[in-house]
Each structure stands twice: as C-alpha cells, then as structure tokens.
Amino acid sequence: MRNVVKGVWLGLLMVVLSFGLWATGAQEEGTAGGAQELKPVELVMWLVGDSVPDYELMLQELNKLTKEELNATIKVNFTTWTDWKTKLRLLLTSGEAFDLVHMAPWGIYQEASKLRLLLPLEDLAPKYAPVTWESYSPDVLKQATVNGHVYMLPFNYTDPYGNGFLYRLDLAEKYGLGKIRNIEDLETYLVTLAKNEKGIIPYNAGEFDLTTYPETICAAMPSFPKAGGEDIIQGLMPYFYVFYDDPNPEPVFILEHPSFREAIEFSRRLYRAGAIPKGVLSNQVGSREAFINGTSAVTLLNPLNANEVYQQVAAKHPDWKLDYWNPYLDLDHPTKAPAINNGMSVPASSRNPQRALMFLEKLHQDQRYHDLTSYGIRGKHWDLDENGQIVLPEGVTVDSTGFAWDRPCPWGWREEKFYRLNPLKFASTWQVIKDWYSAYLAKAVDRKYVSFYLDKEPILAEFAAVDNLKTQYVDPLLWGIADPATYPEVMDKFYAAGLGKVKDEILKQWKAYMAQY
C-alpha cells in the first residue's frame, strides 16, 4: 500500500515539477523597470474561504493599478470552506497553472512544501520582492523553512492563537445566569436555552465550526494543563500536543489525553439536550451566520472575527447584549500564533513566478493595494474620519456593505504598518475585545516548537489511514452524536490502522529534533 501511495505522489510530482522548472526560467529576468518593459500576463490567485458580493468590483479597481504598474491583471478564485484542504491538494497536484496561493500551517503548507508542490523563494524573493524579504527576521524565515527552503512570504502581524465563544449575554440574564467564565458556565447556558428558548438551536454549528471546535473544546476542559502547550502537527484535528509543564516534553496523542474524554462527554450532554443541531456534520451554515440571524445563541470565533460580528449585531440587533469568553486566556501561557500563520506561496506550476512576487511586493508595501484588497473601494465600502480612523461611508452599514472588511482572505499579506483594524488601535473596537487583547498580550508567549516538521515518508500509509478515521469516528464523538461508551472501540480502530507505528515514528523524530533544539 505504501509503495502504491508513494508511486502516485511521485507521478504527480513529475508533472508538477516539470511545470515549475519551466516556469522559473521562462519569464522576465530583471526586476521591473516599468510596466511597459514587461509583457502582459494574467496572474491567477487561489484564496481560502468565501468571497464577498463586491469582490469583482474591487478587482476591477485593483486591475487598473496592476495593469499600469505591473502590466498584469489579477484573477482570484476562492476555495470556500467546504473541503478546502482537499481542493488545495487537488489544485497543486494536478499541474494546473496558477500563480499564487494562500498557505498556512493550519492548512497544507508543510505538506505542500515537503512534496515540492511550491517554488522555493529564497533566490527569487530577494530580487522580485526585496523590501518584503528584508522585513523578515531570521526567526520568521526559520519558521517558514522546510527541508532547507523557504516556500512562503508570510504576513507581518502578531496574531493571537485560539478561538472563543461570542454569546448573547441578554439571554443569559433573561434566565438568571451570569457571564460565561468557564466550561461549566457554557454548558449551563447552552442547556438552559435548549430547554427554554424557542426558535433557536443554542450552538447552531456547522461549516467552519467543524474546523475550530475540536481543539478549542479540548483546551477548555479542566484536565487540559494550565501551563499550556502547542499542537506540533497542525491540521483540522491537532492530534499531537506537547505541554509546557512537562520537564521532558514528548508528544501526547490528544485522543488519549483526559481532556478528550471530558470533551466528548461534554458534547454528548449538549447534543442530547438539543443544544447542538442533529445534522451538525452536514450543516452548510456555520454558527457565525446563524448567530447574526438570531438562530444561534453562541458562535465560535477568534477575537478579530468576534469584534467584526459584534459590529454587525450592534447595527442589526441593537437591543442584544453580547459577551466573549475565550478559554485560551485562562491558560498560564497562551501562545501567539506562528509568525507563518498566514502567508502566500507560488505553486510549482506557476508560469509567472517573478511577476507573482512583484505583485506580492505591492500588496505588502503599497498601502493602496493593501487597503483595496482588505477593505474594498474607498468611498463605497470604507472611508477615513477626521482622526484617520476607518469608518463606513455615510448610508452604508455592516449589514448592507458588499465588502465585509478583512473577510475575503487578505490575511496572507497583512502588514502591521498598514492594518487599520488592529484591535488596540482601532477606535471602534468593542471594549470587551480590547480588554481581552490587553490581557492576552500581557502573558502570551511565542511557540517553542513551531520549527518541528514531521517527515511522514516512513509512515505515509499509516498516517493517512489514521488521519482518515477522523471523519468517520472522531467527529461523531466530538460533536456528541456517538455515545462516549464507544471510545474504546474507536481507539482499537486507530491502533488497527497503524497508530502505534505513527506514535513511535513521531517520538523518534521528536527526540532527534530536541537533541538539536
């Protein structure tokens, strides 16, 4: 089986690399001396998630700039959040020619880099995106390095790590409940609403919640170490954790940690109470949309998105009271997101890698490009007040705008120096989120082991077999659909699929990594 899988990958790589090797030398040799010196090209970019209604209007304005300054037009495609990782894998392995793609460790960056589906940038970027390249510290470039090469230009921004629950405080008060400050409070709130509040499903989860809930709910459990830790193999379900309170840290399979058992018992109680939708695993509408529309009493969001939804709710439902609880703030050492948490890569199939990097240089270093792709068209989707703060134009609301700020995946080129929505600087930031950020940054630490990368080659078949069990067995447990009593049977399935060999290989590579740490 392993040889078959390996053979398929190698066959695909031969096709992809032939495109990449041709592409690297096929285009312009010098840096841009002017658009008139460059032949016209179309740059095709793939971004993750969903678009916004007025994205094409924005793109028309963007193409006026790129045509004049780079002799290039930009075409953008979105994966949506449905099976987005699978779509990226298929795109990159198909050999289809395109020029830029959003990459992240929570996506498939390490995997795609290891398989050489992306172009190394350490030679091209200093020439075609020199200012951006010089802006990265050695540590950032180290984080972006896989097998000796840098395959990404990361964003330049300090992101918090972890999602929290934005909820309706007015409904809590309606039933005599206080603010949510721990997992027990959350359960009481959701179960109470399931019993008493008609017309809503308290946590009306679906779509992107399937990505964010598993890790968050384990981290919220009482047995999760308060010293914190990090998942060393990022993915939809981070299976292996290293905890900071361990004097001799070794990877822990999270399904075998007490926090997982607590999490599935917790979810089962919610599911049986009617606080989670019966069809959660196939629900195409996430809790964010349901929350805004009044059919969910809670949504799971990172702080930036929580602030955005707060603004929308304040305009649409001014009588609601909201609050935010993020379990990561309860840890002694919450971690910052990796410096490579978002970034842009050039696929090996690109026919215009130099021009793609020149465009990235514009996105990172020219505020016109940064503003346009992040907030839309000035005067239509955003404007500045007398204090230089970003505001909605007169007559436009967060509910009616066709370009929700920061939504259509501009994260790969976000620059601290240009970012107008920094929660500690943006005047309209909800005070709850400002307070959260201040408390978080006061004790947040950098991740210790972000440079660890698992070479799956020795366990390719076993790792794939173990990972494939997530949808069939782990998701139903984590969402309360399956009885926690089936947990031993599920673990038997994992070990039958090769979990023991996977754990042994991870430990072996971890010890080698720590010997050089």
Contact, 221 vs 227, CB < 8 A? no
| Inter-axis angle of helices 499-515 and 460-467, nearest 10 | 120
Q: Are strands 72-78 and 41-47 parallel, antiparallel or unpaired?
A: parallel
What is residue 336's predicted lDDT score, i.e. its pLDDT?
Answer: 87
Token pair of 21 as six digits: 């090797």
Q: Mean pLDDT throughout 276-293?
A: 95
What distance in Å separates the CA atoms of residue 213 and residue 233, rounded to the nearest whole number?
A: 17
Contact, 369 vs 410, CB < 8 A? no
Tell me how far CA of residue 461 lies from CA of 1, 3, 77, 173, 381, in angstroms: 7, 9, 32, 52, 49
The residue type at 163: N
Domain architecture of the chain: domains with CATH: 2-158+340-413 (3.40.190.10), 164-334+422-443 (3.40.190.10), 457-515 (no CATH)
Task: Give 16's pLDDT tier (boundaries 50, 70, 90).
Answer: very low
What is residue 13's predicted lDDT score, i.e. its pLDDT?
Answer: 45
Closest residue by Cα to residue 417 from 408, 405, 425, 409: 425
What is residue 12's predicted lDDT score, i.e. its pLDDT?
Answer: 45
What distance in Å separates the CA atoms of residue 89 and residue 104, rounded to the nearest whole number?
A: 13
Type and span of the H or E element at 443: helix 431-443
What distance in Å separates the CA atoms of residue 415 and residue 360, rounded to the nearest whole number?
A: 12
Q: How many CA atoms lie within 13 A of 189 on its CB side?
A: 26
Tell me how far CA of residue 439 lies from CA of 338, 362, 447, in angstroms: 19, 34, 18
Please give the full DSSP string across 182-201, using - where no structure is assigned. SHHHHHHHHHHHHHH-TT--
Phi, psi of 170 (to 5 degrees): -65, -35
What distance in Å separates the CA atoms of residue 84 and residue 107, rounded to the nearest whole number?
A: 9
Task: Convert the pLDDT of each residue in 438-471 to its tens digit.
Answer: 999 899 988 888 878 888 889 989 988 998 898 8
Tell me how far CA of residue 273 lies from CA of 24, 220, 247, 267, in angstroms: 58, 20, 41, 10
Q: Mean pLDDT throughout 49-70?
A: 97
Contact, 158 vs 445, CB < 8 A? no
- 163 Cα distance to chain centroid: 11
Q: Mean pLDDT throughout 101-113?
A: 92
Token pair of 43 as six digits: 């740059």
Q: Is pLDDT of 10 > 80?
A: no
Contact, 351 vs 24, CB < 8 A? no
Task: Convert the pLDDT of each residue in 355-391 to its tens digit.
Answer: 999 999 999 999 999 999 999 999 999 999 999 999 9
Type and span of the H or E element at 436: helix 431-443
- 331 Cα distance to chain centroid: 21
**Helical H segments across 335-386, by residue range:** 353-365, 367-375
Q: Is pLDDT of 262 > 90?
A: yes
Q: Mean pLDDT throughout 137-157?
A: 93
